[in-house]
């Protein structure tokens, strides 16, 4: 059993707002055993996994962390809504670049819509600074390789570029975190509200989360 299963099992229960005792009774296991499953202490059998998936209304693949789509459907590039096309975007590329572009554009569209609802200009500014610096870094690396005059194209000297851009991202992230912490009224996010509010875009965000967490966990496993 993979590491995603315990976290997902616990998350689904908490989303429904029900106790371990209630779920254990429904799935015909002891509360202690369910607790062990949710904390990754013990691994369940296939019968329990199937029963849990049916109880929570998700696919077994989702429960096992094989997909971020709760119904188990695969995400294909041609099926993804592309928010950039809403404004007559004409950029084209390979299948991989097109897929990646859709995932990022759609996810960022959700992100900025959530920020807009919070009605806090500082949050938007710090998010823009953080993401903008990431785009700047990537473009600069490409231009340094293929540009005719890589040193003259940018105002920040090449010698300062790596450390200064990293510092700017960290500063933006710190300011963003501080602004979120002091923000007033909290906003409740769940799979149901995200699916309701962003029916065309939520799959992209879930795919991005899944891929990023996979990279992070692979990195952690090397330590």
* Same-domain pairing of 37 and 145: no
Gap between the Cα atoms of 178 and 30, Å rounded: 42
- Which regions of 97-213 does DSSP assign to beta strands (E)? none
Please state, rounded to an integer, the average pLDDT across all residues of the chain: 84
Residue whose tokens read 């779920």:
23
Asked if the structure places residue 71 within a domain, the reply is: no
CATH of the domain at 14: 1.10.260.40
CA 205 to chain centre: 5
For residue 24, the model assigns a pLDDT of 94
Asked if the structure places residue 72 within a domain, the reply is: no
Q: Looking at the predicted structure, is the pLDDT value of residue 87 above 60?
A: no
Express each pLDDT in 104-121 by its tens digit: 999 999 999 998 888 888
Asked if the structure places residue 32 within a domain, the reply is: yes
**Domain total of the chain:** 2
* Same-domain pairing of 169 and 198: yes
Asked if the structure places residue 205 within a domain, the reply is: yes
* Same-domain pairing of 93 and 160: yes
Asked if the structure places residue 68 within a domain, the reply is: no
Three-state SS for 185?
coil
Decide: 122 and 179 in contact? Cβ < 8 Å: yes
Asked if the structure places residue 109 within a domain, the reply is: yes
* Same-domain pairing of 198 and 123: yes
Token readout for 29 is: 């296991």
For residue 8, the model assigns a pLDDT of 86
Three-state SS for 150?
coil
* Same-domain pairing of 51 and 112: no
* Same-domain pairing of 53 and 100: no
For residue 85, the model assigns a pLDDT of 60
Token readout for 50 is: 């199937």
Four-residue CA torsion sign, 148, 98, 206, 66:
negative
- Locate all alpha helices (DSSP H) within 17-56, ordered by sequence: 20-27, 31-38, 46-56
Four-residue CA torsion sign, 56, 50, 60, 5:
positive
CA 30 to chain centre: 33
Where among 15, 39, 63 does a domain terminate?
Answer: 63
Gap between the Cα atoms of 182 and 156, Å rounded: 33
Express each pLDDT in 90-103 by its tens digit: 555 566 777 888 89
Express each pLDDT in 21-79 by its tens digit: 999 999 999 999 999 999 889 999 999 999 999 999 888 888 887 776 777 666 555 55
Q: Looking at the predicted structure, is the pLDDT value of residue 219 above 80?
A: yes
Asked if the structure places residue 100 within a domain, the reply is: yes
Query: What's the whole-number mean pLDDT along residues 137-145?
Result: 91
Q: Which domain holds residue 28?
A: 4-63
Query: What's the whole-number mean pLDDT along residues 175-199?
Result: 81
- Higher model confidence: residue 124 or residue 3? 124
For residue 70, the model assigns a pLDDT of 76
Where among 16, 32, 63 does a domain terminate?
Answer: 63
Query: What's the whole-number mean pLDDT along residues 209-215?
Result: 86
For residue 132, the model assigns a pLDDT of 94
Gap between the Cα atoms of 6 and 41, Å rounded: 9
- Higher model confidence: residue 154 or residue 185? 154
Express each pLDDT in 153-171 by its tens digit: 788 888 899 999 999 999 9
* Same-domain pairing of 139 and 167: yes
* Same-domain pairing of 50 and 159: no
* Same-domain pairing of 132 and 199: yes
Closest CA to 13 of 26, 32, 30, 28: 26
């Amino acid at each position: 059993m993979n590491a995603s299963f315990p976290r997902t099992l616990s998350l689904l229960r908490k989303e429904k707002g029900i106790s371990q005792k209630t779920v254990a009774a429904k799935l015909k296991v002891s509360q202690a055993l369910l607790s062990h499953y949710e904390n990754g202490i013990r691994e369940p059998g296939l019968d329990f996994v199937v029963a849990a998936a049916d109880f929570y209304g998700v696919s077994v693949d989702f429960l096992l962390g094989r997909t971020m789509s709760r119904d188990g459907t695969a995400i294909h590039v041609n099926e993804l809504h592309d928010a950039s096309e809403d404004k007559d975007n004409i950029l084209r590329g390979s299948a991989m670049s097109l897929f990646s572009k859709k995932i990022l554009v759609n996810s960022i569209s959700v992100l900025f819509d959530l920020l807009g609802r919070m009605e806090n200009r500082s949050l938007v500014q710090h998010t823009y600074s953080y993401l903008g610096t990431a785009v700047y870094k990537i473009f600069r690396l490409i231009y340094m390789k293929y540009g005719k005059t890589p040193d003259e194209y940018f105002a920040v000297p090449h010698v300062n570029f790596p450390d200064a851009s990293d510092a700017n991202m960290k500063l933006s992230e710190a300011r963003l975190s501080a602004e979120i912490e002091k923000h007033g009224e909290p906003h409740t996010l769940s799979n149901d509200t995200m699916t309701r509010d962003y029916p065309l875009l939520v799959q992209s965000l879930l795919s991005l989360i899944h891929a990023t967490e996979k990279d992070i966990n692979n990195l952690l496993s090397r330590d």
